[in-house]
A and B are shown apart, each in its own frame.
Chain A
Amino acid sequence: MLSPALLFTIILIIVVFLISLVVAMYSTYGERKVAAFMQDRLGPNRAGPFGILQPMADGVKMFMKEEIIPQDSNKWLFILGPSIAMLTACMASAVIPWGKGLTIDGQFYSLQITDVNIGILYIFGVVSIGVYGIMIGGWASNNKYSLLGALRASSQMISYEIAMGLSIIALVMMTGTLSVREITEQQAGGHWNALYQPLGFLIFLICAFAETNRTPFDLPECETELVGGYHTEYSSMKLGFYLFAEYINMFISSAVISTLYFGGYNMPFIERFVSDPNLVSIIGTLFFFGKIFFFIFFFMWIRWTIPRFRYDQLMNLGWKVLLPLSILNIFLTGIVMWLMGKVN
């Protein structure tokens, strides 16, 4: 017999996994709707009421499509590429605290799959592996467009991960912990880190766009220059996995941004109106998801507003602007902390 704690964790893993998939599925629908609305169109509205069955139709279509593996490709790596992309996209959700926790039969269950004390490093590590999915897939395709897309993806990831990591260092200096849950708890009562780290937040946000390959940093795909970029040769559900992984990444990035900079599941003033801790926790989780959905919308909003960067501009921005700025941010954070007497 499984212990209740283990059982709860297993259920939580399955639920989080399903939620990520459903959110990613409906992000594709949301993306199309947002795109349409911003272009004064209606978007998909034929499959079911308001077109809400459109993602299912797309999924069925993806599965029914002919699967082609190019003859000169490296077959194992060709299959490995989308698998890694999908796997890493799903893995990052493990350390995100989805809520405070539930008390059932007097026992407290945390709404976080695992609270490793290096949660932020874990997220970074997993997200960095994600680029291997793109690199391996692009290289294994044996196609110059794919290869160019993969090269761009890897250099872009490397350039932006540094700035992203440095912007996080300032946050870690301030909070003094690497555990995602502790960072969330410190923001209770509306002390959102975004208010204390506006520059760091901005850098992190820009890098998050680059990490998820979203416009204006979608150079790895870059339809106008590289056909489809790294997934030019992909078809059927392997292509679906790449596209799907991007949406899961978007969901996870939104969750990470809300957790690190916007207080996560903390809802200010909720304790004044609701006394039941379980209810507080559930409302907090819903509030957290509200923030996540806002950021997913923000990702789409940006995509349908800003054109793509040129490659040299991308590199300029990454190395000559964001990197110095994030280092400056670390210094500023240190100086302010020293002035406030938080360091000795």
Chain B
Amino acid sequence: MQSLTNRSKVVVKKEMTWMEKIYLPAILGGLKITLKHFFRKKVTINYPEEKRDIAAVYRGLHVLKRDENGAERCTACGLCAVACPAEAITMIAAERKGGEEKLYREEKYASTYEINMLRCIFCGLCEEACPKEAIFLTDQLVPTFRDRADFIYGKDKLVEPKDAPVDISKRQTAEVKEFKTHKQYTHNKL
């Protein structure tokens, strides 16, 4: 049989020789190996002080985008919540009143929008499902808290601040945008 790797060895059940039976040479060999590891460079990354390089298209904390006029793009269609395999997203839709055009882009908006970061698996399916280009994943990490309630992120934390837009150009390249317009692809079917 052909082996998958060239490292496999056929096990031979033979009587141990006297040298093998006294174990001591084998133990010394083992001690040598562990001592070598003792002085080897450690692989640990001291997290809060050191951070690992993450990919440009890393899927971290979500952001709810505003359009170029500063109005929220989300229309509370619920597609992200449907797409979410972890059922982390909940929202309540509301109708836009007169005079709120500056705040919300379309007639319907999400009055509450919550993502439970303890449930979220950061798969990015919400982002793929969104027809309004409203939700994106960023390269930010979710911080740690001592209370479970703190992990439920509401609109106050998710919507990007007006004066400090979050850059999502890495995740929303022209190709991605183009791809999303083709509704015939199974990926983009509802």
- Shortest Cβ distance from A189 into chain B, in angstroms? 29
Which residues of chain B are within 8 angstroms of A34 by Cβ–Cβ distance?
A: 38
A42 interfacial contact with B, CB 8 Å: yes
B-contacting residues, A272-325, CB 8 Å:
301-302, 304-306
Instruction: Pick the interface stretch among B41-49, B106-114, B117-125, B156-164.
Output: B41-49
Map CB proximity to B onto A54-94 as digits: 1 under 8 Å, 0 otherwise.
00000000000000000000000000000000000000000
Interface centre among A34, A41, A305 (most CB of B within 10 A): A305
B-contacting residues, A14-50, CB 8 Å:
34, 37-42, 45
Which residues of chain A are within 8 angstroms of B42 by Cβ–Cβ distance?
A: 37, 40-42
B189 interfacial contact with A, CB 8 Å: no
Map CB proximity to A onto B133-172 as digits: 1 under 8 Å, 0 otherwise.
0000000000000000000000000000000000000000
Number of A-B contacts (CB under 8 A): 35
Which residues of chain B are within 8 angstroms of A37 by Cβ–Cβ distance?
A: 37-38, 42
Q: Are B38 and A302 in contact (CB under 8 A)?
A: no
What is the number of residues of chain A that contact chain B, defined by CB distance less than 8 Å? 13
Interface majority SS on B: helix, strand, loop or mixed?
A: helix
Q: Closest B residue to A321 by CB, please name it.
A: B22
Instruction: Pick the interface stretch among B9-17, B27-35, B59-67, B83-91.
Output: B27-35
- Shortest Cβ distance from B28 into chain A, in angstroms? 10
Which of B30, B43, B46 interacts with A40 by CB under 8 Å? B43
Q: Are A38 and B37 in contact (CB under 8 A)?
A: yes
B-contacting residues, A154-209, CB 8 Å:
none
Q: Are A45 and B46 in contact (CB under 8 A)?
A: yes
Which residues of chain B are within 8 angstroms of A41 by Cβ–Cβ distance?
A: 42-44
Interface majority SS on A: helix, strand, loop or mixed?
A: loop
- Shortest Cβ distance from B131 into chain A, in angstroms? 46
Report if A305-B30 is in contact (Cβ < 8 Å); known contacts: A41-B43, A41-B44, A45-B46: yes
Taken together as a complex, chains A and B put the C-alpha atoms of A170 and B110 apart, in Å, by: 86
Which residues of chain B are within 8 angstroms of A42 by Cβ–Cβ distance?
A: 42, 44, 46
B183 interfacial contact with A, CB 8 Å: no
Q: Are A38 and B46 in contact (CB under 8 A)?
A: no
Report if A302-B37 is in contact (Cβ < 8 Å); known contacts: A40-B43, A41-B43, A45-B46: no
Q: Interface of A with B (CB < 8 Å)? A: 34, 37-42, 45, 301-302, 304-306
Q: What are 28 pairs between A and B in contact, CB < 8 Å?
A: A34-B38, A37-B37, A37-B38, A38-B34, A38-B35, A38-B37, A39-B37, A40-B37, A40-B40, A40-B41, A40-B42, A40-B43, A40-B44, A41-B42, A41-B43, A41-B44, A42-B42, A42-B46, A301-B31, A301-B35, A302-B27, A302-B31, A305-B27, A305-B30, A305-B31, A305-B33, A305-B34, A306-B27
